[in-house]
Chain A
Amino acid sequence: MIESLFVLSPTGKVIIEKHWHELIPRRVVDFFNDQVSKAMAEGEDVTREDVLPIIASPKYQLINVYRDGLTYLSPVTKEVDPMMVFEFLHRIPDIMQEYFGQVSETVIKENFVTVYQLLEEMMDDGFPLTTEPNSLKEIVPAPNILNKVITTMGATTSVSTRKMPNGMSNLPWRKAGVKYNSNEIFFDIVEEIDAIVDSTGKAVSCEAHGTIQTNSRLSGMPDLTLSFVNPRLVDDCSFHQSVRFNKWESDKVLSFVPPDGHFRLMSYRVNLPSQQNLPIQVKPSINIGANGAKFDITVSLRNTDGKAVENVVLTLPLHKSTSTLTAQCNVGQYMFDPVGKVLRWDVGKIVPRERAPVLSGSFGFGSASSEAAANAGYNIGVEFLINSHSLSGLKVDVLKLFNESYKPYKGVRTMTKAGRYQVRA
């Protein structure tokens, strides 16, 4: 049972609190803040993200999620499924994002009553109630210009004109009577690459996490079947509620009646072999001496099907004792943050068969240098994006529509980007 929620500002102040069962006194927040500052005082590198997500207090278990500077804290008094609490707590900023476009202390305060109503609808007596954005939007109207005009003009939003909540239709995720003049559906296949690459360019671990984001603007009750050219590539996948699991098991096709609007149709994971040709190669060489190091980093393209790689950014966290840095690069621009000790190189776009971007230079350790600085390992975080490319090779074959007579416009876009992609120097 999720009894209470406190949303805390970056400074630990309560922005909003909600008690679904008994009231839990606010002093639990003070205890929590103490624990957080205690944990963060343990080392200079300890950040808020490093604090344990479950903290024991004498009376409560403090389950908390930290996202975008805000803490979602749920103290519980009884044994609970912590995974469920985390899933639920993450839903709250997700929903707020849907409603307000962004999540911050200010946004919550500006939309106070809406947030409060949402929290009321999302939970009944400690058990999650309605968490589907589509259903919620029917019960709690999102703040948009039309709504504002209606309320300010004093027009009545009377009960009788309101539709039934879609929780009452046969398909809880789809409302009845949807109508569009032009029927269209778009699929965005985005693959994020999580990889650890060693200094020789070999992948120590590498997997692609794909999602199929769908925007459905189809009238009536369309029944869709989406098939892939090579579905067996997928190692593991999960689906939107609407997808008929048996069809996937037997025929490896996605058969579903889509919700209206944006939704995530499918998430999948593809394990990539260590011999996998990665689209981009980062070759770092860091020669460390007693007082500093010389380094150069080369980026080159490999295996992108002739496509350009965009938004390439490399970040290299340096040892805490680093005091000086000089460097030059032939492409893009670099920046050294002397406080956070991070070197960031904004490479930009790399086009095939152009000369390879290189960043070279040297950095020196300050007075506090030690063996630890000289032996520290270096990791380079890599960001990039490739349009119309799927690293795993998963391809959509055909989309069929049943149960409705119109011919919808169909669009598929693919994109590969770096997820948690790091290169060891």
Chain B
Amino acid sequence: MDIFSKPKFFTNNTKGENAELLVELNSEYRDRRKDAVKRVIANMTVGKDVSGLFPQVVKNMQTEDLEMKKLVYLYLMNYAKSNPDLVILAVNTFVKDTDHVNPLIRALAIRTMGCIRVDKILDHLCEPLRKCLQDDNPYVRKTAALCVAKLWDLDQERAIDNGFVTTLQDLVSDSTPMVVANAVIALAEMQESSVNKDVFVVNVAIMNKMLAALNECNEWGQIAILTSLAEYQPLDSKEAESVCERVVPRLQHANGSVVLSAIRVLMIFLRYLRNDEFTNGLIKKMSPPLVSLLASAPEVQYVSLRNINLILQKRPDILQNDVRVFFCKYNDPPYVKREKLEIIIRLCNDKNVDQILSELKEYASEVDVDFVRRAIRAIGRCAIIIEEASERCVNVLLDLINTKINYVVQEAIIVIKDIFRKYPQRYEAIIPTLCQNLDSLDEPEAKGSLIWIVGEYAERIENADELIENFLETFLEENSQVQLQLLTATVKLFLKKPSQSQEIVHRVLQTATQEIDNPDTRDRAYVYWRLLSTDPQAAKAVVLSEKPPISVDSSADKLSPGLLDELINNISTLASVYHKPASTFMGNKAFSADAVRKAAVADARDEEQIMGEDTVTSPTAPAASAPKNVMADLLDLDFGSSEPVSTPVMSPPTSNSKSGPNYSADLFDMSSDMSSGGSDAFGGMGGMSGMSGVGGLNIGFQQSQSQSQNQNTATSGSSNAFGDLAGFGGFGQQPSAATASQQTQQQKPTQSSTVNDLLDLF
């Protein structure tokens, strides 16, 4: 090989190359050996097997050439695992190097020894490590500090027995900031995997040492120190203030991770602050750095936006005047746009709503269909949050409907349905416009929404019966969501305009009970039939009862206070990006169920007891989705089936109220997006009504009535009631609940004949 030409690190013939390298590695010329080692490293990096050259490479370790030494070290770290016996050959050189006059070499040797994750080397590691931890040179001490964590990872006992843990704890008081920082990094890492969690407990003394080092160490050290500071519990408001004051300058760092870590400390310490003036000042200081993060790379923006979302839920007063910076650029990646949209809605208030509306309207004309739909939904949310703006929102939605773009029209109708629910009797004038688009609707949710509107306002719509007839033509082919909606709308129509629709309602109920196999639809038809035939007045009271208004606070994107606090503690982690506790997406399943319980605790203690015991052993996803189905079967409630299972995974007990945030057509037009933190007052009631299903249809009817009373008084109660019921049924914990559903099934045939008889009566 011509040594003057550029070394070629890549050749195809591996076998021949290894043989050639073998010769080169034994060459008497140092440069040829070095080139050969470089080629070995190059091959190793692309995944070629060069482990066979181990002895020859290691021979080159004893050299005064730093680069050569580093290259051999690199090789050693990679292959030590597969050749542990040979590593011992290298040990002597390593140990000698930890005594070298040059601190750079001492540090390099101890660093590399720690990275060779082989048990045999541990015997030889302890003595040099002890020396390096006491080295005069801070660079060596800093490297040795991390080495303790490496040893700990392989053999905790050995680390403790040799006193390294204590030495490391002493290094937190080192005079050099970067040594302190590395000691903190190592201790925090060890604490995580320690059994007694006593390796690194942040007390006042440690906190002060860390604060002293904070300004002087490098950015990565600052992140570690800030992360550990967040663990500290201040004694009082005064102490919390003084920590905040020391942390605030970190908000001015160019590294986004330092900024977010500082934000985490501040958000946690805000809880301890009793001085309002100080608190307000602090909150003012947090906005600008958060805004600045949005000028970074899209990935950094994404993490920032997910965290800002959390921060805003906790402290809505942050970023109040900064909504403009969240406006989307047309070429933002979709994942950034989605998150910006969420933030825009959170920042919407009566002062900026006009600005936001015109912005959202702009988005609705973009080409990304998913984003357009989200923008339209956002308009609906604006209308619901800000009453004064609802009319403007409706006008924007009408403009959008007039574009005749199919998916825009359908989404707008879904949104308008929610606006109708929030502001009943206010915007009926637009119904004719909506009905003009009847034929273009092909999505179940949009169809269902329009049908709901027609049923709800049947008395105001002259040709309501014709419209319903029109929909009924395809009744049997419809998605069950639409079928249920049609069923309810027809009954409403009948109750409001009995003369026009007796024939229709009869036909619908007959079709639904006889030709439809879906138990949800069929059973609901039975209930209606029975209700209408026994007591039409009661039917009116139930079906046309006043519905609870929907509110934004209850929608699925609002986290429960317990989970929110946990996530605030974890700002700038993966948990804060997913908005889920880390254990639900990392580690094994048993842990995840555990965390689900934990998250649920703060939310609904009563329900948790029923759910939680079962969830521990069952895998998360089924546990979360089961209640939904069971509940639907028992109580004829259908929730938006299109909802992803992942949402309820977060906290199953509330999954029933979370599962249908957008729309759910249910027996009593009950809004399923009731506030998730509802009262437990009706918990017992719900349990009772669930049990009453055993009694068959008669009791079943009373149950519905009692349910509807719940409805009228406090909606959240019934939501919890279903939760309880689901808890019973879902896991067969209560045998009676299981039999209840069985019995109901068995009684079906008789029921239908009675119902038929009864219907003739009226």
Residues of A whose CB lies within 8 Å of any CB of B are 1, 14-18, 20, 22-23, 26, 45-46, 49-50, 52-54, 56, 61, 65, 77-84, 86-87, 90, 109, 112-113, 116-117, 120, 124-125, 127-129, 131-132, 139, 141, 151-152, 154, 156-160, 162, 164-165, 167-168, 172, 194, 196, 204-205, 207, 209, 235-241, 245-246, 248-249, 264, 267, 269, 271, 274, 317, 319-320, 370-372, 375-377, 379, 381, 420, 422, 424
Contact = CB atoms under 8 A, between A and B. Distances in A.
7 contacts: A112-B41, A125-B114, A151-B31, A157-B67, A167-B178, A168-B137, A269-B292
A131 B146 contact: no
A132 B254 CA distance: 13
B406 interface: yes
B260 interface: yes
Given A125-B146, A238-B292, A162 B66 contact: yes
Contacts of B62: none
B325 interface: yes
B574 A204 contact: no
Contacts of B253: 238-239
A127 B295 contact: no
A330 B24 CA distance: 67
Contact of B303 (A82, A129, A371): A82
B303 A50 contact: no
Given A164-B103, A267-B254, 5 more contacts: A17-B45, A129-B220, A157-B67, A168-B137, A379-B331
B224 to A, nearest CB: 8
Interface residues of B, number: 99
5 smallest CB-CB distances across A and B, nearest first, come from: A236-B288, A377-B365, A53-B299, A205-B324, A84-B257
A422 B254 contact: no
A23 B333 CA distance: 32
Contact of B403 (A16, A50, A54, A371): A371
Contact of A79 (B3, B359, B575): B575
B521 to A, nearest CB: 33
Contacts of A80: 573-574
Contacts of A267: 254, 292
A83 B256 contact: yes
Interface string B276-298: 00000000000011011001011
A370 B367 CA distance: 12
Given A168-B137, A371-B406, A245 B249 contact: yes
A320 B367 contact: yes
Contacts of B255: 87
A87 to B, nearest CB: 5
B586 A61 contact: yes
B335 interface: yes
B565 interface: no
A16 B78 CA distance: 14
B223 A84 contact: yes
A150 to B, nearest CB: 10
B371 to A, nearest CB: 11
A45 B368 CA distance: 8
B314 interface: no
A269 B220 contact: no
Nearest to A317: B330
Contact of A420 (B224, B329, B334): B329
A328 to B, nearest CB: 26
Contact of A112 (B34, B42, B185): B42
A132 B288 CA distance: 26
Contacts, number: 238
A90 B297 contact: yes
Contact of A83 (B67, B189, B300): B300
B218 to A, nearest CB: 7
A61 B298 CA distance: 18
B577 A158 contact: no
A152 B365 contact: no
A21 to B, nearest CB: 8
Contact of A86 (B45, B46, B249, B300): B300
Contacts of A157: 65-67
Nearest to B42: A112
Given A52-B335, A236-B288, A196 B327 contact: yes
A167 B182 CA distance: 13
Nearest to A375: B403
B64 A159 contact: yes
A168 B138 contact: yes
A86 B574 CA distance: 12
Nearest to A84: B257
B582 A79 contact: yes
A238 B104 contact: no
A54 B574 contact: yes
In this complex, the member of B70, B299, B329, B586 whose beta carbon has the largest number of chain A beta carbons within 10 angstroms is: B299
A236 B46 CA distance: 44
A181 B227 CA distance: 45
A424 B362 contact: yes
Nearest to B186: A127
Nearest to B192: A78
Contacts of A158: 64-66
A377 B363 CA distance: 8
A248 B289 CA distance: 16
A386 to B, nearest CB: 20
Contact of A235 (B64, B288, B362, B403): B288
A162 to B, nearest CB: 6
Contacts of A61: 574, 585-586
Contacts of B298: 49, 53
A238 B574 contact: no
A65 B252 contact: no
A42 B117 CA distance: 43
B368 to A, nearest CB: 7
Contacts of A238: 252-254, 259, 289, 292
Contacts of B334: 46, 50
The CB with the most chain B CB atoms within 10 A, among A50, A80, A132, A164, is that of A50
A172 B218 contact: yes
Nearest to A235: B288
Contact of A209 (B34, B256, B295): B295
Given A81-B573, A194-B295, A26 B586 contact: no
B634 to A, nearest CB: 34
A155 B46 CA distance: 29
B111 interface: yes
A348 B115 CA distance: 56
Nearest to B250: A245
Given A125-B149, A235-B288, A82 B577 contact: yes
Contacts of A84: 220, 223, 257, 572
B4 to A, nearest CB: 6
Residue with the highest number of chain B CB atoms closer than 10 Å, among A45, A83, A167: A83
A86 B111 CA distance: 25
A159 B143 contact: no
Nearest to B322: A271
A205 B256 contact: no
